[in-house]
C-alpha cells in the first residue's frame, strides 16, 4: 500500500506496532495507518521465542499476564485470525532454598489471582517433560498448565489481518525519517516515500524508538540489550508441544521447537548499545555471540547432557529495548500534542503486546488508571538522569531478568 494522509500513524510493524494498530482501530480510531521500514515482524519480534508465563512476583503482573493468555487463547475465535497459540503449560524449576522460597511465594500469588498452579516433585516434572534426562538436581517445580507460547510472526500477521479488517492502511518498506511538529503538535511525518499529514503519532519503533524520539527533542532511556537463544537439530523425543521450561538459578529457558531444543538465557554480563549512538534507519549489529550461546548449553546440560553434542540449527538474536526501571514506556509525551510512545518492552513485548496496546488506548482516554499513568514517558521527562547510569540500570534489568542468586558452580 502507498502511505497517505491520515489521523493516526503507528510507526513500527513489530508485535507492539501491529497490536497498537489493531487496538486503536478496534477502539474506534479512524484513518489509522501503520508504517514499517522493512517487512512486518522482521526486527526484534521475528527473533522472539514467544513465551508467555503467567505466574509472576506481583499480583498485578500475574493478573496482566493472565489477561494476555486469555486474549491469545481466544484470538482466533474473537478476531478470526490465528496467532498460533500453543497452550503447552510451563515448568519453573527450583534447585536451592532461595528458589524454593520464590516458587512458594509465586504459587501463593498465583492462587490469589485465581491462576491454576501446582508445586510438584522431580518425578512429576519428568512425567510432564520426559526429554529432561537428569532431574536429580530438581528440588521443586511450579507447573502452570495454562501457560504457553505464540509464534511471533503468526501473531504479527494476525494483528495486521485483524487491523486491516477494520480498515487500517499498512505500508511496509516505508521509513519514517523525521516527525513534523507545528505549534507544539504533531502535524506530519517525512518518509522515504513522501510526506504525510497526521495528528496522532504512535512511536512503536522497538529498539529504535528512543532514537526516533530524540529527533523530536524527546530523551527517553530505551536501551538495546543483546538477547539470544539457539535451536538444535532434531533430538529424540523433543517436539513443539512440550512445556516451556524456566530455570531461574541458571537464568535459562527452553522449550521444544519443531523436533529440536530451543534454549536461551540471560547472561550475567550482558551487552548493550549506547542508546545515544543508535540512529533512525541504521542497522543494529547482527551477529550472535556464540560464546554466550555455548554457556547456555553448558548450563542446560545439567538437565539434558546431550544438548552440548547437539548440532545447532540456528541462532536467534536481537536487541530488545530495556528501560532503567524495567517497565514499559506507554502514553502521550508532555509538551508535544499527539506524540505517543509504545516502547521499552524489556524483552516481553511479544507476550505483553496485547496488554501494552490496551494500556496505550487507555492512556489516550479521559480515564487513565494510576497503573497506566505510572507507565507514562513523562517519568523520564525532563531529563534529570544520566545516560550512562540509565544504560547500566537498563542492562542490569536484562541481566537480572530472573532475580535469583546464581547457583555455586
Ligand atoms: C532472542 C529473543 C527472544 C525473545 N523472546 C521473547 C519471548 O519469549 N517472549 C516475549 O514476549 N518477548 C521476547 N523477546 C522480546 C520481544 O522480541 C520484544 O519485546 C518485541 O519483539 C518488541 O516488539 P516491538 O514491536 O517493540 O519491536 P520490533 O519487533 O523491533 O519492531 C519495531 C519495528 O519498527 C520498525 N522501525 C524502526 N524505526 C522505524 C522508522 N523510522 N520507520 C518505520 N519503521 C521503523 C522496525 O523495522 C521494526 O520492525 C525476545 C527477543 C529476542 C531478541
Question: Quick one: pLDDT band at residue 2, thresholds 50, 70, 90?
Answer: confident
- Pocket residue to mutate for ligand 1, from 265, 349, 354, most atoms within 8 A of Cβ: 349
Query: Which pTM value belongs to this model?
Result: 0.97
Q: Strands 140-144, 90-94: parallel, antiparallel or unpaired by DSSP?
A: antiparallel
Contact (Cβ atoms closer than 8 angstroms) between residue 90 and residue 117: no
Q: Is the CB of 255 under 6 A from ligand 1?
A: no
Non-local (6+) Cβ contacts of 335 within 8 A are: 184, 381
Domains of the chain in sequence order: 8-47+152-221+323-383 (3.50.50.60), 88-148+224-322 (3.30.9.10)
pLDDT 10s digits, 284-310: 999 899 999 999 999 999 999 999 999
Torsional sign, CA 70, 73, 74, 75: positive
Q: What is the CA radius of gyration of the chain?
A: 21
Q: Average pLDDT over the chain, rounded to whole?
A: 96
Q: Is the CB of 262 under 6 A from ligand 1?
A: no
Orientation of helix 353-363 relative to helix 59-73, angle to 10°: 110
**If we measure between CA atoms, which residue out of 9, 27, 379, 44 comes closest to residue 206?**
44
DSSP reduced 3-state for 95: coil
pLDDT 10s digits, 168-199: 999 999 999 999 999 999 999 999 999 999 99
What is the predicted pLDDT for the residue at 403?
76
Nearest CA owner, ligand 1 atom 12? 348
Return the ligand 1 atom nearest residue 347 CA: 15
Cell triple for 78: 474473537
* Interior/surface letters 176-202, b for 16+ CB within 10 angstroms, e for the rest: beebbbeeeebebbebeeeebebbbbb
Q: Average pLDDT of 254-270? A: 96
Amino acid at each position: 500500500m502507498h502511505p497517505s494522509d491520515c489521523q493516526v500513524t503507528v510507526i513500527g510493524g513489530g508485535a507492539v506496532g501491529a497490536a497498537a494498530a489493531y487496538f486503536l482501530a478496534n477502539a474506534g480510531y479512524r484513518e489509522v495507518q501503520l508504517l514499517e521500514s522493512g517487512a512486518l515482524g522482521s526486527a526484534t519480534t521475528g527473533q522472539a521465542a514467544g513465551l508467555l508465563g503467567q505466574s509472576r512476583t506481583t499480583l498485578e503482573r500475574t493478573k496482566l499476564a493472565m489477561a494476555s493468555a486469555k486474549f491469545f487463547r481466544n484470538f482466533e475465535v474473537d478476531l478470526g485470525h490465528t496467532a498460533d497459540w500453543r497452550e503447552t503449560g510451563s515448568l519453573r524449576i527450583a534447585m536451592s532454598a532461595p528458589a524454593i522460597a520464590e516458587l512458594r511465594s509465586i504459587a501463593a500469588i498465583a492462587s490469589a489471582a485465581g491462576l491454576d498452579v501446582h508445586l510438584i516433585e522431580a518425578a512429576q516434572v519428568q512425567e510432564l517433560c520426559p526429554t529432561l534426562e537428569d532431574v536429580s538436581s530438581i528440588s521443586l517445580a511450579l507447573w502452570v498448565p495454562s501457560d504457553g507460547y505464540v509464534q511471533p510472526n503468526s501473531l504479527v500477521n494476525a494483528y495486521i489481518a485483524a487491523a486491516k479488517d477494520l480498515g487500517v492502511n499498512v505500508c511496509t518498506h516505508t521509513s519514517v525519517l523525521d516527525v513534523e511538529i507545528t505549534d507544539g503538535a504533531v502535524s506530519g511525518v517525512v518518509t522515504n516515500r513522501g510526506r504525510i499529514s497526521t495528528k496522532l503519532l504512535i512511536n512503536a519503533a522497538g529498539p529504535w524508538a528512543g532514537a526516533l524520539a530524540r529527533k523530536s527533542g524527546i530523551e527517553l532511556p530505551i536501551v538495546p540489550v543483546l538477547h539470544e537463544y539457539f535451536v538444535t537439530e532434531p533430538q529424540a523425543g523433543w517436539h513443539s508441544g512440550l512445556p516451556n521450561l524456566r530455570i531461574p538459578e541458571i537464568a535459562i529457558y527452553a522449550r521444544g521447537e519443531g523436533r529440536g531444543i530451543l534454549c536461551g538465557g540471560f547472561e550475567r554480563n550482558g551487552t548493550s548499545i549506547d542508546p545515544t549512538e543508535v540512529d533512525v534507519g541504521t542497522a543494529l549489529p547482527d551477529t550472535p555471540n556464540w560464546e554466550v550461546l555455548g554457556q547456555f548449553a553448558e548450563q542446560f546440560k545439567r538437565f539434558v547432557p546431550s544438548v552440548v553434542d547437539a548440532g545447532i540449527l540456528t541462532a536467534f538474536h536481537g536487541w530488545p529495548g530495556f528501560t532503567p526501571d524495567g517497565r514499559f514506556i506507554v502514553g502521550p509525551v508532555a509538551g508535544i500534542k499527539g506524540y505517543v510512545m509504545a516502547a521499552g518492552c524489556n524483552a516481553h513485548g511479544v507476550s505483553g503486546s496485547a496488554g501494552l496496546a490496551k494500556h496505550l488506548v487507555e492512556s489516550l482516554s479521559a480515564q487513565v488508571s494510576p497503573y497506566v499513568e505510572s507507565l507514562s514517558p513523562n517519568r523520564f521527562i525532563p531529563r534529570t538522569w544520566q545516560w550512562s547510569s540509565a544504560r547500566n540500570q537498563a542492562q542490569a534489568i536484562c541481566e537480572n531478568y530472573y532475580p535469583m542468586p546464581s547457583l555455586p558452580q
